[in-house]
Amino acid sequence: MKVLVTGPGGFLGRYIVEQLIARGDSVRGLARGDYPELVEQGVEMVQGDLADLATVTKACEGVDCVIHPAGKVGVWGKWFQYFRANIHGTLNILSACKQLGVERLVFTSSPSVTFAGADQKGVDESAPYPDRWLSHYPHSKAIAEQMVLAANGEHVANNGILRTCALRPHLVWGPRDHHLVARLVQRAHAGQLRRVGTGTNLVDSIYVENAAEAHLLAADSLALADSPVAGKPYFLSQGEPVNCWDWVDQILALAGLPPVEKQISRGAAYWVGAGLEATHWAARRWDAEPRMMRFVALQLSTDHYFDISAARRDLGYEPRVSMAEGMQRLGNWIAEGGLRNAESTVA
């Protein structure tokens, strides 16, 4: 098939592109940046912004399926930035699909769209969206996810029917991760890491190649007229929750750094985050993320792991790369200097 991948130069997007190419699919990428290395691999690139409908329409022309992981990440910034990339951009994707008769759309969402600040222990896709939001990122992703799922079954050009689904991979990590892993290492070097809460909370995560494969499985399933995944969201993970802070220490050890020793209570971290957010907001410091935020304090101190039986049943998803094997690959990448040019942005 011919597939459009948005954000093909990003962490997850690049693995999706590589897996599509490896199995012989034709790939087009839509990105704001220039990626000559993708062109060398045979990717047809369209350069432009998701918020520009003409560019998105050009990128969607002639494709069979759109895989849409691009968007604004992180948990600090102006609402307009998140709206423009995550909501308006996704609306443009939907509009182009309908206009051009593209019948398959796989949207990369996030488990944070169901996070209300409390523990999530083995929750499934019946978990509701929260009533209040502590960050623009999950709020904007939840709106985009609902738009994508509501569009399932709508008529598109050439007498087609649009089939959509939303995937919610949690804490994507692995080699070439210049976001989550890089940030942990950077903050450890700066002496800024603190265990938040009791240090006993369990979290899910997903190795990046497993997350990418799930997107291909979803794209293939949506080709079926009676696809079991159409119109549904799916949590994705390794299927084996780990202690959050033990895992952080393991990542730091791969980078030759000591474990996190300093600790702060959940309540103290929450109010420190509230104060720093207020200070940054008053100073209009939108490009300088506070060292702590309310959403982050709650994420780092609560259990959040998920029931992935629906993904196993409907997608045929299984985490082929185990936690142990993935950590070994991550360690090898770090040892080879992979973090040398890492960015200090949030995944």
Indicate which residue of 137, 207, 270, 317 is catalytic: 137
Q: What angle do CA 10, 169, 48 make, to 5 degrees?
A: 30
Say if residue 42 is exposed, middle or buried (CB neighbours under 10 Å; 0-12, 13-18, 19+). Answer: exposed
Instruction: Supply the pTM of this predicted model.
Output: 0.95
Instruction: Write down how long the chain is.
Output: 347
Residue 180 token pair: 């989550």
- Of the candidates 87, 140, 84, 88, the one whose C-alpha atom is nearest the C-alpha of residue 110 is 140
The H-or-E segment that residue 27 falls in is strand 26-31
Cα separation, 17 vs 117, in Å, equals: 34
pLDDT in tens, the chain (347 residues): 999 999 999 999 999 999 999 999 999 999 999 999 999 999 999 999 999 999 999 999 999 999 999 999 999 999 999 999 999 999 999 999 999 999 999 999 999 999 999 999 999 999 999 999 999 999 999 999 999 999 999 999 999 999 999 999 999 999 999 889 998 999 898 888 999 999 999 999 999 999 999 999 999 999 999 999 999 999 999 999 999 999 999 999 999 999 999 999 999 999 999 999 999 989 888 888 898 999 999 999 999 999 999 999 999 999 999 999 999 999 999 999 988 865 433 32
The H-or-E segment that residue 295 falls in is helix 294-301
| CATH numbers and ranges of domains, the chain | 2-173+204-237+306-320 (3.40.50.720)
pLDDT in tens, 146-190: 999 999 999 999 999 999 999 999 999 999 998 899 989 998 988
Q: Is 137 a known active-site residue?
A: yes
Residue 201 token pair: 């909370």
